[in-house]
Amino acid sequence: MNIFSFIKPYRIPIAAALSLMLVELAVELVQPLLMAKIIDEGIAERDLDTVIKWGGVMLGISLLAFASGITNSFIAAHAGQSFGYDLREKLFAKVQSFSFTNFSSFPASSLITRITNDVTQLQNTLFMSLRIAMRAPLLVIGGITMAMLVNVKLALAFVVIIPPLLIFLVWIMTKSVGLFKSVQKRLDKVNGVMRENLVGMRLIKAFARGSHEGTRFQKANNKLKDKTVFALRVTETTIPILLLFMNLSVIAVLWFGKVEVQTGAVSVGEVVAIVNYSTRITTAFSMFSWIIMVFSRARASAERITDVLNEEIDLQDSAESREEYGITKGKIEFDHVSFQFPNTNIPILRDLSFSIEPGETVAVLGATGAGKTAMFQLIPRLYDVTGGEIRIDGRDIKAIKLKSLREQIGYVPQEALLFTGSIKENLAWGKEDATYDEMVDAAANAQIHETIEKLPDKYETLLGQKGVNLSGGQKQRLSIARALIKNPKILLLDDSTSALDLKTEAKLLNAISKYKCTTLIITQKVSTAKEADKILLIEDGALTDSGDHEFLLKHSKLYQAIYGSQFGEVKAEC
């Protein structure tokens, strides 16, 4: 996808803005000619009428240029802001479509910088192009052309000096693009450190690591400063160089102009006109340093944004998927499933096979890193299997539309994530059109309703970012309520009751059992697992044993070890 495609909808306002800019430019190029007429035909000839006549014309076209400039600013601002709005919206939509694999290619801090800072660079560049930047090179070309029309001999100074300066400017711009791209990357680093610091502020305070984090931020900030200073130093050196050579050209015009005036080959008005064109060209050249910086940053930003827009989404609906397919009963089958994270060679799941009947409650036990969470993430296709097949109700999950599949699965991740807004709005994440009674019912089953009722604004109580004003257990129960409210066919609880006491957890699991759904629970608690219809023991990505509590307690050494670590001798249960 090309950045320029976002400019196309605004072709008419852009054309209007450019036309108005050309009016301003035309006035600026005509004015030295009018001044020459006033000097040669009015002042030199002591003709006041001529001075008034051409002075009035100059005043009139100056007012026209003023009106054109004001209108141009309004139109350019509209085009720039609208372009930025469309680009941000498209970027956000693209990021929303990313799979977990795509997210691993772009750090969160980098995506934030691209959607905010980089888009702002581009929209400001479009505005300044329509207002000023396009005018500068046209003023140089127009100034040289008009000077040549006034007097070719005097204008030769421009013809000799300006081409080498333009080559120098192109070289500086090429070098600046790489420099400003590295500046944006350093900005990503600074944003990354800030983001980690703000997210982990409580841990930083608890471990008294403020000075360490301050040093880490200072290093990132210093590197950003150094890169920015170096990039600006390279671009800013263009102004003194340009002004030096343009001022030399003005001196040359004045020197040879004096000689030509004395011989009568050139009039005073023509010398004044060419000097005026020279000062206008010099002014345009002095803007080139700023233009180079803006366009270099814009080009670097455009490349970074294009990288996101052109990122290939690796996980999408397959050609076989159909709208009418969905989850009807909730039977889950893993058929020799293998999985490894993209761009790694480390197997997470190995030849995993099992079957779960509709409505069953299954507990999944295993050590940290055994692959339990990865197994859960494969069911709603947050990742795709690298081998084997997952079927729901006898159908490969790749044949089910992603939206339909995920809408019928209630997923509660390990980290309970809530969003800024009210409790009611967070519950509505599970079902947008949920009624108040449905919210109360889901909250009651998740054992959080009574807690909500004690809050000052009850279901309208505002939550901070990530639910910072709730305890860990409250956040977990609210996350479970959010999943229950959609009345899912399959419910996945990834260690989502770890912060609950045994009594509350027992009530919660009993309430969940009333739902007509297949439930999978990752847990480390035998007290939770023993109430399940089936227990899956996962070790190093493979299924070692499965069965109910009594069966595993008699036949599985791994389950006996887990049980013994929590309750003592196995014989006590037998």
Q: State the chain's maximal CA–CA distance in angstroms.
A: 124
Cα 125 to chain centroid, rounded: 19
27-43 pLDDT, tens digit per residue, is: 888 888 888 888 878 88
Residue 494 lies in a domain: no
Bigger pLDDT: 40 vs 452: 452
Which of 97-101, 175-179, 225-229 shows the lowest per-residue confidence on average (mean pLDDT)? 175-179
pLDDT at 202: 66
Q: 10 Å Cβ neighbour count for 76?
A: 24
CA–CA gap between residue 102 and residue 400 (Å, rounded): 21
Bigger pLDDT: 2 vs 340: 340
The secondary structure of 182-203 as a DSSP string is HHHHHHHHHHHHHHHHHHTHHH
The helix, strand and coil proportions of the chain, stated in percent and rounded to the nearest 5, come to 65, 10, 25
Residue 199 lies in a domain: yes
Q: How confident is the model at residue 465 (pLDDT cuts 50, 70, 90)?
A: low
Identity of the highest mean pLDDT range in 187-196, 285-294, 476-485: 476-485
pLDDT at residue 355 tops 90: yes
Whether residue 176 contacts residue 292, with contact meaning beta carbons closer than 8 Å, is answered with: yes
pTM (two decimals): 0.71
pLDDT at residue 160 tops 60: yes
Bigger pLDDT: 166 vs 408: 408
pLDDT at residue 280 tops 90: no
For tokens 């919210």, name the residue: 439
**What sign does the dihedral 397-399-403-407 (CA atoms) show?**
negative
Q: Is 450 exposed, middle or buried (0-12, 13-18, 19+ CB in 10 A)?
A: exposed
Nearest Cα to 292, choosing from 187, 186, 159, 165?
Answer: 165
Whether residue 87 contacts residue 2, with contact meaning beta carbons closer than 8 Å, is answered with: no
Percent of the chain with pLDDT over 90: 25
pLDDT at residue 158 tops 80: no
Residue 427 lies in a domain: no
Q: How confident is the model at residue 104 (pLDDT cuts 50, 70, 90)?
A: confident
Bigger pLDDT: 561 vs 289: 561
Which of 114-123, 459-468, 523-532 shows the lowest per-residue confidence on average (mean pLDDT)? 459-468
pLDDT at 467: 66
pLDDT at residue 292 tops 70: yes
pLDDT at 574: 42
Residue 135 lies in a domain: yes
pLDDT at 375: 93
CA–CA gap between residue 364 and residue 304 (Å, rounded): 42
260-276 pLDDT, tens digit per residue, is: 777 777 777 777 888 88
| CA angle (244 as vertex; 238, 250 as ends), nearest 5 | 130
Percent of the chain with pLDDT over 70: 97
CA–CA gap between residue 218 and residue 206 (Å, rounded): 21
Alpha helices of 460-540 — where are they, by DSSP H? 472-484, 502-512, 526-529
Q: 10 Å Cβ neighbour count for 56?
A: 10
Sequence-ordered list of residues with C-beta below 8 angstroms from that of 153, at least 6 positions apart, any chain: 256, 260, 265, 266
pLDDT at residue 549 tops 50: yes
Q: Is 229 helix (H, G, I), strand (E, B) or coil?
A: helix
CA–CA gap between residue 409 and residue 483 (Å, rounded): 8
Mean of the pLDDT values across residues 504-509?
Answer: 86
Nearest Cα to 3, choosing from 314, 298, 311?
Answer: 298
pLDDT at residue 358 tops 90: yes
303-352 pLDDT, tens digit per residue, is: 889 988 988 887 777 777 777 778 889 999 999 999 998 878 889 999 99
215-248 pLDDT, tens digit per residue, is: 888 888 898 888 888 887 777 777 777 777 777 7
pLDDT at 559: 86
Mean of the pLDDT values across residues 206-216?
Answer: 80
Q: Tell me the helices (H) and strands (E) count for the chain, helix number first.
A: 21, 12
pLDDT at residue 365 tops 80: yes
Q: 10 Å Cβ neighbour count for 460?
A: 12
Round the average pLDDT of the chain to a whole number and report it: 85
Q: Which amino acid does the sequence have at 303? A: E
Which of 92-101, 187-196, 298-307 shows the lowest per-residue confidence on average (mean pLDDT)? 187-196
Structural domain count of the chain: 1
pLDDT at 565: 83
H-helix or E-strand spanning residue 412? strand 409-412
Whether residue 186 contacts residue 224, with contact meaning beta carbons closer than 8 Å, is answered with: yes
Residue 133 lies in a domain: yes
Specify the long-range contacts of residues 103-107, CB closer than 8 Å, at least 24 apart: 104/342, 104/343, 105/311, 106/308, 106/311, 107/188, 107/192
Q: Is 354 helix (H, G, I), strand (E, B) or coil?
A: strand
Q: How confident is the model at residue 139 (pLDDT cuts 50, 70, 90)?
A: confident
DSSP 43: I
CA–CA gap between residue 385 and residue 377 (Å, rounded): 10
Mean of the pLDDT values across residues 91-102?
Answer: 86
Residue 139's CATH number = 1.20.1560.10
Sequence-ordered list of residues with C-beta below 8 angstroms from that of 425, at least 6 positions apart, any chain: 419
**Domain enclosing residue 56, as ranges:** 3-309
CA–CA gap between residue 318 and residue 56 (Å, rounded): 72
Residue 518 lies in a domain: no
Residue 396 lies in a domain: no
pLDDT at 571: 53
Residue 402 lies in a domain: no
Q: Is 323 exposed, middle or buried (0-12, 13-18, 19+ CB in 10 A)?
A: exposed
pLDDT at 572: 45
| CA angle (430 as vertex; 425, 435 as ends), nearest 5 | 65
422 pairs with which residues across the strands? 462
Phi, psi (5° rounding) for residue 544?
-90, -40
547 pairs with which residues across the strands? 535
Q: 10 Å Cβ neighbour count for 70?
A: 11
Alpha helices of 200-267 — where are they, by DSSP H? 201-206, 210-236, 238-263
pLDDT at 573: 46
Phi, psi (5° rounding) for residue 463?
-105, 145
